[in-house]
C-alpha cells in the first residue's frame, strides 16, 4: 500500500501529460468522400472516448487520402494521446506540409510543441 501511494501521483502525472485541449479537425466539404466518412467516424469515436477506434478510423481516412493536413493532424493527436511521440511528430510534420493554409493546423499549440521546440 505504501508503494501504491508513492506510485499513484507519478502515474497521474504521466497520464495528464498526454491530455490536451486540441480536438480533431473536420475535412473540407470537397474532400475525398471515403476519407471524409472515415474522418467523421473518427471524430465521433474521439468524443465517445474511444481513442483506439478513432485512431483506426483516422488511419482508414489516411489510406483514402494521405495528402490531407487535417487527417494527419488527427492522427498526430491520437498518437500524442497514446504517448507515441515519434509517430505524433511524424504526422504533425505532414499536417503542416499539407495544411493548405488551414490556421487550425498552422497555429496549433500541440503541433508547435512537437515541431518548434
Superfamily of domain 35-117 in CATH is Tetratricopeptide repeat domain (1.25.40.10)
Structure confidence by residue, pLDDT tens digits, 61-103: 999 999 999 999 999 999 999 999 999 999 999 999 999 999 9
- Tell me whether residue 30 is exposed, middle or buried, using C-beta atoms within 10 angstroms of its C-beta: 0 to 12, 13 to 18, 19 or more: exposed
Alpha helices in the chain (DSSP H): 2-17, 33-47, 51-64, 69-81, 85-97, 103-106, 109-115
Query: What is the reported pLDDT for 19?
Result: 63
Write the pLDDT tens digit of every residue in 3-61: 544 454 444 444 444 567 999 999 999 999 999 999 999 999 999 999 999 999 999 99
All cell numbers assigned to 93: 510534420
Rounded distance between C-alpha atoms, residue 69 and residue 80, angstroms: 16
Determine the Cα–Cα distance for residues 91 and 87; give it in Å rounded to an integer.
6
Domain regions of the chain by residue span: 35-117
pLDDT value, residue 7: 56
Q: With beta carbons less than 8 A apart as the criterion, state whether 96 and 69 touch.
A: yes
Contact 88, 22 (CB under 8 A): no
Q: Could you tell me the pLDDT band of residue 117, with boundaries at 50, 70 and 90? A: confident
Amino acid at each position: 500500500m505504501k508503494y501504491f501511494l508513492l506510485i499513484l501521483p507519478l502515474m497521474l502525472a504521466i497520464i495528464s501529460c498526454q491530455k490536451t485541449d486540441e480536438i480533431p479537425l473536420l475535412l473540407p466539404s470537397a474532400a475525398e468522400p471515403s476519407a471524409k466518412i472515415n474522418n467523421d467516424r473518427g471524430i465521433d469515436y474521439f468524443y465517445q472516448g474511444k481513442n483506439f477506434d478513432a485512431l483506426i478510423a483516422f488511419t482508414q481516412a489516411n489510406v483514402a487520402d494521405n495528402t490531407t493536413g487535417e487527417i494527419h493532424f488527427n492522427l498526430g493527436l491520437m498518437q500524442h494521446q497514446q504517448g507515441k511521440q515519434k509517430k505524433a511528430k511524424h504526422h504533425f510534420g505532414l499536417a503542416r506540409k499539407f495544411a493548405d493554409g488551414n490556421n487550425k493546423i498552422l497555429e496549433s499549440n500541440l503541433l508547435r510543441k512537437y515541431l518548434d521546440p
